[in-house]
Amino acid sequence: MNTEMIKCKTLKAKPTEVKSFGKLFTDYMYVREYDGGKWGKGKICPYDGFVLLPCSSVLHYGQAVFEGLKAYRDKESGTVRLFRARDNFKRMRSSCERLCIPPIDEEEAFSALVDLISVERDWIPTDAGTSLYIRPYVFANDESLGVHAAKNYKFAVILSPSGAYYAHGFAPVALKVEREYVRASKGGTGAYKVVGNYAASILAGEEAKSAGYDQVLWLDGTERKYVEEVGSMNIFFVIDGTVVTPELNGSILPGITRDSCIKLLKSMDIPVQERRISIDEVMDGAKSGALTEIFGTGTAAVISPVDRLGDVNGDYIIGKKGEAGKVSKLLFDTLTGIQTGRLEDPFGWVTIVK
Ligand code: COI
Q: Is the CB of 325 under 6 A from ligand 1?
A: no
pLDDT in tens, 77-95: 999 999 999 999 999 999 9
Helix axes 326-340, 256-267, angle to 10 degrees: 110
- pTM summary value: 0.97
Residue 349 maps to a domain: no
Residue 321's pLDDT is 95
Low-confidence ranges of the chain (pLDDT < 50): none
| Structural domain boundaries, residue 206 | 173-340
Pocket probe for ligand 1: among 133, 259, 299, the residue whose CB has the most ligand atoms within 8 Å is 299
Distance between Cα 10 and ligand 1 center (Å): 30
Residue 166's pLDDT is 87
Distance between Cα 167 and ligand 1 center (Å): 15
Say which CATH number the domain at 9 has: 3.30.470.10
Burial call 52-86: b when 16+ CB within 10 Å, e when fewer? eeeebbbeebebbbbbbbbbbbeeeeebbbbbbbb
Do 185 and 280 share a domain, yes or no?
Answer: yes
Residue 169's pLDDT is 81
Residue 168's pLDDT is 80
Do 38 and 91 share a domain, yes or no?
Answer: yes
**Domain boundary pick from 163, 189, 209:** 163
Residue 17 maps to a domain: yes
Residue 348 maps to a domain: no
Atom 8 of ligand 1, nearest CA residue: 232
Do 193 and 275 share a domain, yes or no?
Answer: yes
Nearest ligand 1 atom, CA 66: 5
Nearest ligand 1 atom, CA 193: 5
Residue 347 maps to a domain: no
| Domain count of the fold of the chain | 2
Do 250 and 137 share a domain, yes or no?
Answer: no
Cα distance from N-terminal residue to C-terminal residue, the chain: 11
Q: From the CB of residue 129, how many other CB atoms can be counted at a distance below 10 Å? A: 15
